[in-house]
Amino acid sequence: MKKYIAELIGTMWLVLGGCGSAVLACTVDNGIGYLGVALAFGLTVVSMAYAIGHISGCHLNPAVSVGLCVGGRFSCRELVPYIVSQTIGAILGAGIIFLIYTNKAGFTELGGFATNGFGKGSPEGYNMAAALIIEIVLTAVFLYVIMGVTCKKAAAGFAPLAIGLTLTLIHLISIPVTNTSVNPARSTGMAVFTGGLPVEQLWLFWVAPIVGGVIGALAYNFVNSGDTE
């Protein structure tokens, strides 16, 4: 149970820190911009990896949990409880942002609310094919890096930094395309409070990251001769 609670808290922090920076600090004058949002997501992972990595492994992402399961690094018996915990945590994080943002002076509507999308839901109008490609490829790379830096042969103590910086880079690449998901729980948490188009398009942000996670895990094991340690 401690592992599931850790995943809930960690994913809540991921959404609150990452999406919160996009909603609360990216739209104001002299706001943090795409670079600031990308760094915020990376920093949430770094901080939580050091805080709860020894408890739950700090997945914070259903696609990561599925990928690690396929890659032989995680027990499939715990997969569903992890995904449930991550999704609840993401909704809680989004709920905190919602409560803060809707109490802003002059508030009238949520707007994009850091949701993910394609077509009309894309920040720069990228279509569904572009969204599928970028979410699959970037999640695959993310899993490949995670499995590499958490291998017993990797340098000890640096995994959180490598994973956090990789997530930062992923956001720098894909915020204009889909607003960056690579995480079904993160997408679900924000979409719950907007409804409409983000909910209609949510399927892609479950399917593509999970497919990418599986590809990344299988690619890592292939390149490393089936190494699952």
Of 64, 195, 33, 86, nearest to 141 (Cα)? 64
Asked if 165 and 145 touch (Cβ cutoff 8 Å), the reply is no
pLDDT at 226: 58
Q: Give, rounded to a whole angstrom, the gap between the first and last alpha carbons of the chain.
A: 24
pLDDT at 134: 98
Of 61, 86, 84, 80, nearest to 9 (Cα)? 86
Measure Cα distances from 11 to 48, 62, 162 in Å. 9, 10, 18
| CA R_g for the chain | 17
Q: What 3-state class would DSSP assign to 194?
A: coil
Q: What 3-state class would DSSP assign to 47?
A: helix
Measured over the CA atoms of residue 194, residue 197, residue 199 and residue 201, the dihedral's sign is negative
- C-alpha 93/C-alpha 138 separation (Å) is 23
Asked if 123 and 176 touch (Cβ cutoff 8 Å), the reply is yes
Q: What is the pLDDT of residues 25-51, one digit of tens each?
A: 987 667 889 999 999 999 999 999 999
Q: Which of 5-19, 94-108, 195-209 is predicted with the least confidence, judged by mean pLDDT?
A: 94-108
- C-alpha 140/C-alpha 217 separation (Å) is 7
Name the fold adopted by 2-223: Glycerol uptake facilitator protein (1.20.1080)
Q: What is the pLDDT of residues 147-165, one digit of tens each?
A: 999 988 887 788 999 999 9
Residue boundaries of the structural domains of the chain = 2-223
> In this structure, which amino acid lies at residue 200?
E
Measure Cα distances from 29 to 22, 24, 33, 101 in Å. 13, 11, 10, 16
pTM of the model: 0.93
Q: What is the pLDDT of residues 171-228, one digit of tens each?
A: 999 999 999 999 999 999 999 999 999 999 999 999 999 999 999 999 999 998 756 5
Of 225, 146, 152, nearest to 182 (Cα)? 146
